[in-house]
Amino acid sequence: MWIKVRIAEQVLELFEDAQPEPVKTYSISTALNGVGQQEGSGQTPLGSHEIAQCIGGDCPENAVFVGREWTHEIYTPELAKEYPERDWILSRILRLRGLEIGFNQGGNVDSYARYIYIHGTPDTEPMGVAKSHGCIRMRNSDVMALFEQVKEGTRVEIVA
């Protein structure tokens, strides 16, 4: 299995290795600030990546993560009102590592050091629209389904 993120179309496609057509396509939300590699840009990085960590496999749907740790909170609209400034990372995290030295790995362009993830977000957030802070957001049920299909080391290609 491998993943292709197509930013212009705001979709994530899951492929079986030898198949030319995706086995599944998901609507996503990438960065409001567009594409880019720089730390602090709030942009979604391009290029070849791999899943470096799969986080949250035993957590319930809508589990809230801060610093890649489950807070033992479950997202609700009431919780959102209590913490209006949080960038909600929910259900599952697939942390990405760039594979292209000097482009998305190392220095101030390092996707892993930038904490770039594929993760769940509140189901009230729109998909198909660039709105994230750099990560690739998915519906909770979708990220949980994807999580079951991939593993650490799965290739992720992010294209404009």
For every one of its 160 residues, what pLDDT tens digit does the chain have, with 9 covering 90 and above?
999 999 999 999 999 988 899 999 999 999 999 999 999 999 999 999 999 999 999 999 999 999 999 999 999 999 999 999 899 999 999 999 999 999 999 999 999 999 999 999 999 999 999 999 999 999 999 999 999 999 999 999 999 9
Task: Give the CATH number, domain containing residue 48.
Answer: 2.40.440.10
Helices (H), the chain: 77-82, 140-149
Q: So what's the pLDDT on residue 1?
A: 96
Give the pLDDT of residue 153: 98
Count of domains observed in the chain: 1
Identify the pLDDT of residue 67: 95
Q: Are strands 69-74 and 89-98 parallel, antiparallel or unpaired?
A: unpaired
CB 15 within 8 A of CB 4: yes
The Cα 43–Cα 45 span in angstroms is 6
Of 52, 29, 31, 50, residue with least CA distance to 41: 31
Asked whether the whole model's pTM tops 0.85, one would answer yes
Among residues 159, 118, 111, 160, the alpha carbon closest in space to that of 142 is found at 118
| pLDDT in the model for residue 18 | 85
Q: Which domain holds residue 95?
A: 2-159
Q: Can you tell me whether residue 39 is helix, strand or coil?
A: coil
